[in-house]
Amino acid sequence: MQYHLEGFAPGDPAVLPVAAGVDEPGSTEPPGEVDVLVIGCGPAGLTLATQLAAFPEITTRIVDQKLGPLRIGQADGVACRSMEMFETFGFCDRVMKEAYWVNETTFWRADDTDPDRIARADRIQDVEDGLSEFPHTILSQARIHDFFLDTMATSPRRLAPDYGRRFTGLTVDASEESDTPTHPVTATLERVDPGHEGEIETVRARYLVGCDGARSTVRTSLGLALRGDAANKIWGVMDLLAVTDFPDIRLKSAIQSASEGSVLVIPREGGYMVRMYTELGELEPDERAADRNITADEIIAAAQRVLHPFHLDVKEVAWWSVYEIGQRLSDTFDDAAAVGDDRSSPRVFITGDACHTHSPKAGQGMNVSMADSFNLGWKLASVVLGRCTPDILRTYSDERQAVAQELIDFDRDMANLFGARAGPIRQSNDEIADRAEFQEYFTKHARFTAGVETRYDTSMITHAPTHQRLASGLTIGKRFHSEAVVRLADAKPVHLGHIIKADGRWRIFVFADANDPAVPSSRLARLCAFLQDSPDSPVGRYTPPGADVDSVIDVRAVCQHSHRDVAIGSMPAFLLPRKGRLGLVDYEKIFCPDTRRGPDIFDSRGIDRAHGCTIVVRPDQYVAHVVPLDDHSGLAAFFVGFMSDPPPPT
């Protein structure tokens, strides 16, 4: 963590200096004109608002019809990829400290000698080694919300939600050009908080994002609908404090009985609580879960039947709900595509459950919703700040709709397999194959559930894999897979990917070739000279006058040599930039492999040692391009496709 750049400042460095002219939340009336209006304080809305709150220049408002923050219940699974995202926001350590870590998963089925009893069929590692430096965790969605809210509150904007506002509709003034700094979106909010019921607020915004759940009013306002399979199965979910002799109560366990249905056991944080998803049967074609009037006692009884011969003595139910399994998806995630407008850039977007719904057992709902907003947030910020052309906003729907479709397909198969009746452990070869299908599917798709298999197609911000061979382990379109390195200046072991923060900056990682990186004729030195001095340099071209050299594009170098064999004073000056009002030197731009704590990054990520390469990484941690070290024009040309030149100094 770097601080004191603008002079010594005592206190907690995580509390960022407040932006000029920003009032404390609640001290003044909420603004009626904003850059971005976010509807909904679920995980999607809070992810988006937290990212936007990091930019002092951007005015963001987030509203929700609830009267306050979420306190109990709802989602709890946090995929490895989401943990990587939390690291960019600075609260991953807090999640790891509180959460349950999913280390192993067990599978239970009908016993071969007595099908009315269940017996353990297998026990496996939950996440394969090396998939991520972070674990798969379980933590209440309410606590995840708390961490986002804390980060928003200490951001330069000191952002806090405006609760008690129900979104009722919007209009978009099509007469205004999409690339002008106007506020064409007008939203209407009805207050529902005590003492203000029925009061109407009107907010004008440059952009509006609907993060308002499966019954999204924003989606309806755009004329969009969720399409897909009708719900046909009903499940109960409960957070329990219970006493049981079931031996795997503190392990994630998938249980399929012969005749009483299925249960998924998810241990919760704190060491005592457990969540159980319990199958409750099928729905008639026109029936809804609410029609059954199912009680908590009925869900407990169903779980007890599945767990036989083990006992489940429930002492307290912390939260419970009944839900239907159905997979639905919106055809598009923005207003431009909704009306077939291929010229104007979108102004209104939907994220999370507003554009895709599915069962919760795969643990993807909250994770994919947050990933939607993480994809959109930096794009909105870049356009509002004038760094990128509005055309990049079209990539949000293209990228995330494809991911959601993949999730829907996965969830449908997962739900069907989990709900299938399972026979005894020992059966005929055909029956054994059928019985094992769910477990095999679970294992095969572990990377998908970990969130690391997302791959974005080629677009203006994701280049074709022309030179992928130079970095076979850093796939273009997939997330930048971090690895242990040593920082040259202070010999500190760090993870390279952890320097990527949710600050909207692009990253260029320069992996040196086998030559001495300090020699002026080396590929690394020549690239640094280009980035520092050439009029075609993307760093020079897109950095605003007077701003720090890394304010838009942050360049870091990784040498092949040991950190004890590289003299920092002989490295290119571009990698030791002077920054801030005091002209202080940034010593954290150069790294070397850490072979004591992990594999050599050049080996584990398949970097071509003879030639090296340049890796361009998007602000959301996804690899955008792999470029030869000496292809300076190719590197520059990539950024030309979507970046905007900063305005001249006044």
Q: What is the CATH number of the domain that holds 215?
A: 3.50.50.60
Q: Any residues with CB less than 8 A from the CB of 175 and at least 6 apart, and which?
A: none
Residue 288 predicted with pLDDT over 80: no
- What do you get for the CA distance between the two ends of the chain, in Å? 33
Cis peptide before 309 (omega within 30 of 0): yes
301-332 pLDDT, tens per residue?
999 999 999 999 999 999 999 887 678 899 99
Using the 3D structure, point to which of 351, 370, 404 is the last residue of a domain.
404
Q: What is the CA radius of gyration of the chain?
A: 26
Which residue type sits at 28? T
Q: Looking at the domain assignment, is residue 569 inside a domain?
A: yes
Task: Please tell me the total count of domains within the chain.
Answer: 3
pLDDT of 429 reads 46
pLDDT of 234 reads 85
Q: Looking at the domain assignment, is residue 150 inside a domain?
A: yes
> Do residues 189 and 282 both lie within one domain?
no
pLDDT of 416 reads 67
Which residue type sits at 484? A
> Do residues 591 and 628 both lie within one domain?
yes
> Do residues 485 and 550 both lie within one domain?
yes
Residue 25 predicted with pLDDT over 80: no
HSE on the CB side for 424, CA within 13 Å? 10
CATH number, domain containing residue 473: 3.40.30.20
Residue 21 predicted with pLDDT over 90: no
Q: What percent of the chain has pLDDT over 90?
A: 74
- Alpha-carbon distance values, 185 to 165, 173, 396 (Å): 17, 7, 19
Domain ranges, residue 546: 468-640
pLDDT of 425 reads 43
C-alpha–C-alpha distance, residues 520 and 534, integer Å: 16
pTM above threshold 0.85? yes
Q: What percent of the chain has pLDDT over 70?
A: 91
40-66 pLDDT, tens per residue?
999 999 999 999 999 999 999 999 999
- The DSSP string of 307-336 is HTTS-EEEEEEEEEEEEEE--EEES-SBHH
C-alpha–C-alpha distance, residues 515 and 535, integer Å: 27
Q: Looking at the domain assignment, is residue 8 inside a domain?
A: no
Residue 377 predicted with pLDDT over 80: yes
What average pLDDT does this structure show over 228-250? Answer: 89
pLDDT of 607 reads 98
Residue 268 falls in the annotated catalytic set: yes
B/e letters for 514-532, b = 16+ CB within 10 Å, e = fewer, are eebbbeeebbbbbbbbbbb
> Do residues 382 and 283 both lie within one domain?
no
3-class DSSP assignment, residue 273: strand
B/e letters for 26-42, b = 16+ CB within 10 Å, e = fewer, are eeeeeeeebbbbbbbbb
What average pLDDT does this structure show over 21-25? Answer: 76
C-alpha–C-alpha distance, residues 332 and 357, integer Å: 14
Which is catalytic among the residues 109, 157, 268, 435? 268
168-199 pLDDT, tens per residue?
999 998 765 545 548 999 999 999 999 999 99
> Do residues 204 and 352 both lie within one domain?
yes
Q: Looking at the domain assignment, is residue 648 inside a domain?
A: no
Q: Any residues with CB less than 8 A from the CB of 430 and at least 6 apart, and which?
A: none
> Please, what is the Cα angle at 586 between 518 and 544, to 5 degrees?
105
> Do residues 113 and 184 both lie within one domain?
no
Q: Which of 179, 147, 158 is nearest to 58 (CA)?
A: 158
**Contact predicate 5/580, CB 8 Å:** yes
Which is catalytic among the residues 161, 162, 248, 277? 277
589-639 pLDDT, tens per residue?
999 999 998 899 999 999 999 999 999 999 999 999 999 999 999 999 999
C-alpha–C-alpha distance, residues 55 and 50, integer Å: 10
Q: Which residue has the higher pLDDT, 627 or 444?
A: 627
Q: Which of 494, 473, 471, 492 is nearest to 484 (CA)?
A: 494
> Do residues 636 and 548 both lie within one domain?
yes
Q: Looking at the domain assignment, is residue 92 inside a domain?
A: no
Which is catalytic among the residues 360, 424, 572, 577? 360
> Do residues 116 and 204 both lie within one domain?
no
Residue 267 predicted with pLDDT over 70: yes
Q: Looking at the domain assignment, is residue 154 inside a domain?
A: yes
> Do residues 522 and 500 both lie within one domain?
yes
CATH number, domain containing residue 443: 3.30.9.10
> Do residues 611 and 547 both lie within one domain?
yes
What average pLDDT does this structure show over 212-231? Answer: 89
Query: Token pair of 407, please?
Result: 């999730």
522-543 pLDDT, tens per residue?
999 999 999 999 999 999 999 9
Query: Token pair of 52, please?
Result: 């936007």
Which is catalytic among the residues 64, 76, 111, 411? 76
**Contact predicate 486/591, CB 8 Å:** yes
As beta bridge partners, residue 119 has 109
Q: Looking at the domain assignment, is residue 573 inside a domain?
A: yes
- What average pLDDT does the structure give for the chain? 91
> 650 falls in which pLDDT band (50, 70, 90)?
low
Q: Looking at the domain assignment, is residue 490 inside a domain?
A: yes
Count CB-CB contacts under 10 A for residue 289: 19
C-alpha–C-alpha distance, residues 214 and 224, integer Å: 12
Looking only at the bridges linking them, the beta strands covering 33-39 and 200-210 are parallel
**Contact predicate 210/349, CB 8 Å:** yes
> Do residues 488 and 363 both lie within one domain?
no
> 419 falls in which pLDDT band (50, 70, 90)?
low
**Contact predicate 21/169, CB 8 Å:** no
Q: Any residues with CB less than 8 A from the CB of 309 and at least 6 apart, and which?
A: 117, 118
> Do residues 134 and 151 both lie within one domain?
no
Residue 360 falls in the annotated catalytic set: yes
Q: Which of 485, 357, 461 is nearest to 399 (CA)?
A: 461
C-alpha–C-alpha distance, residues 140 and 126, integer Å: 20
